[in-house]
């Protein structure tokens, strides 16, 4: 239920958005069977949360059988108030609950955003991210790759053996629609992990299957869990990109240094300074430079001693043969 709406209109469905609980005395409801069925049908189609009818104005002891039957057929909750009730008191109480719930959801969203921002900035390992999701959701969480192999998990206080038993085969059978989806059969909430159009894994919040609960009906997944799982997946994807980019940047720096040496664009002091900054001290060490070129004839290697690098002349190695 999203809101409470008081109305005595027979065509109130036209002003609803869905999720409203309708309060009415029924004074303007249709008298004929078809009109009552249409009234209920329109409420159900727009997604009304329910219909509350107060006795004392139009109806006194019972509701029209056609109204009750139509509500049963459409699955629309129908409530009767046998005593007069101030509708304004109902709306105030319900709206206070709704607003408080929305405020709590906003606070929860802010907390989740802050926690995972910190994890992203700190470059947290996947195990730490998964542990945080499990703690906040109070349920087991598993991070797997696209081959359904477990990369990290937190059993959330449950048995790890039970959680991971036959995981690969169980996971292959869970393919909810959409990037984030819920599988009622297993109770799993699953979201894809990846960025830039390249997914590399799935993050799974392991819930309780509906079939395991007696007389249970499918329940909507709490919005907080969906938000939590998606925020964690974004953190995992971002951290992996940062690690990959950091490694790429280091390799680019190495390549720039080697290129500067080969083209003599850097002085000896520049080379020593940059190498030290990369964690590769050159002073007092000997270094070989091996350059191999492809061609149809014999290949010639030239070993050069760079002044100041602490190297000594070496014998020329035999020419390398062309492979392939």
- Predicted confidence (pLDDT) per residue in 191-244, tens digit: 999 987 889 999 999 988 765 444 444 456 678 899 999 999 999 998 888 776
How crowded is the C-beta side of 109, counted as CA atoms within 13 Å? 10
Query: In this predicted structure, what is the pLDDT of residue 259?
Result: 85
What span, in angstroms and rounded, lies between the C-alpha atoms of 5 and 21? 6
Q: Which two tokens stand for residue 65?
A: 């059988």
Residue in 120, 110, 129 with CA at minimum distance from that of residue 201: 129
CA distances from residue 237 to 81, 140, 145, 189, 296 in whole angstroms, order as listed: 53, 20, 12, 18, 47
- Beta-bridged to residue 20, according to DSSP, are 3
- CB neighbourhood size of 40 (10 A): 25
Contact of 320 with 299, CB cutoff 8 Å:
yes
Q: Is-contact 237 126, C-beta < 8 A?
A: no
Token duo for residue 79: 């409530």
Q: What is the largest CA-CA distance in the chain?
A: 112
Radius of gyration of the chain (CA): 34
Please answer whether residues 145 and 204 qualify as being in contact, where contact means their C-beta atoms are separated by less than 8 angstroms.
Answer: no
Q: What's the pLDDT score for residue 268?
A: 82
Q: Taking Cα atoms as reference points, which of 120, 115, 119 lies closest to residue 137?
A: 115
* Percentage helix, strand, coil for the chain under 3-state DSSP, each rounded to 5: 45, 15, 40
Distance CA 28, CA 44 (A): 19
Task: In whole angstroms, give the CA distance from residue 203 to residue 163.
Answer: 14
| Residues of the chain below pLDDT 70 | 210-221, 244-250, 252, 273, 276-279, 287-324
Rounded to two decimals, what is the model's pTM? 0.54
Give the span between the Cα atoms of 36 and 38, in whole angstroms: 5
What are the start-end ranges of the H helices in 123-204?
126-137, 160-164, 167-172
Task: Report which of 5, 15, 10, 1 is spatially closest to residue 76, judged by C-alpha positions.
Answer: 1
Q: Compute the distance between CA of residue 164 and CA of residue 170 in angstroms, rounded to an integer.
A: 9
CB 150 within 8 A of CB 164: yes
Q: Distances from the Cα of 189 to the Cαs of 92, 146, 198, 258, in angstroms?
A: 35, 16, 20, 49
Measuring CA to CA, how many Å separate 194 from each of 64, 197, 306?
56, 7, 46
The burial of 94, by beta-carbon neighbours within 10 Å (0-12 exposed, 13-18 middle, 19 or more buried), is given as middle
> CB-side exposure of 255: number of CA atoms within 13 Å?
6
List 144's β-bridge partners, or say none. Answer: 150, 202
Find out whether 186 and 174 touch, Cβ atoms under 8 Å.
yes
Domains and CATH numbers, the chain: 3-85 (3.50.30), 92-243 (3.30.450.40)
């Amino acid at each position: 239920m999203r809101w409470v709406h008081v109305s005595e209109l027979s065509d109130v469905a036209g002003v609803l958005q869905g999720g409203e609980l309708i309060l009415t005395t029924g004074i303007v409801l249709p008298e004929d069977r078809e009109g009552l069925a249409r009234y209920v049908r329109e409420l159900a189609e727009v997604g009304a949360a329910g219909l509350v009818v107060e006795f004392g104005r139009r109806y006194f002891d019972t509701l029209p059988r056609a109204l009750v039957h139509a509500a049963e057929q459409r699955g629309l909750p129908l409530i009767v108030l046998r005593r007069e009730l101030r509708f304004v008191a109902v709306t105030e109480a319900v709206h206070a609950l709704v607003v408080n719930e929305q405020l709590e959801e906003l606070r929860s969203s802010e907390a989740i955003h802050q926690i995972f921002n910190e994890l992203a900035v700190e470059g947290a390992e996947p195990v730490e991210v998964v542990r945080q999701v499990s703690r906040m959701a109070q349920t087991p969480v598993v991070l797997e790759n696209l081959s359904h192999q477990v990369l990290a998990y937190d059993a959330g206080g449950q048995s790890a053996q039970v959680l991971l038993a036959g995981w690969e085969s169980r996971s292959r059978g869970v393919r909810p629609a959409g990037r984030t989806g819920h599988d009622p059969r297993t109770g799993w909430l699953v979201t894809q992990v990846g960025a830039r159009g390249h997914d590399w894994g799935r993050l799974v919040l392991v819930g309780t299957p509906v079939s395991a609960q007696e007389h249970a009906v499918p329940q909507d997944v709490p919005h907080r869990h969906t938000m939590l799982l998606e925020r964690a997946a974004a953190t995992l994807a971002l951290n992996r990109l940062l690690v990959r980019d950091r490694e790429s940047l280091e390799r680019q720096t190495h390549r720039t240094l080697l290129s500067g040496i080969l083209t003599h664009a850097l002085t000896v002091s520049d080379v020593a300074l940059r190498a030290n900054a990369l964690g590769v001290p050159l002073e007092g060490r000997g270094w070989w430079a091996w350059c191999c070129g492809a061609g149809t004839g014999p290949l010639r290697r030239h070993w050069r001693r760079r002044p100041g690098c602490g190297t000594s002349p070496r014998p020329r190695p035999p020419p390398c043969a062309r492979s392939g």
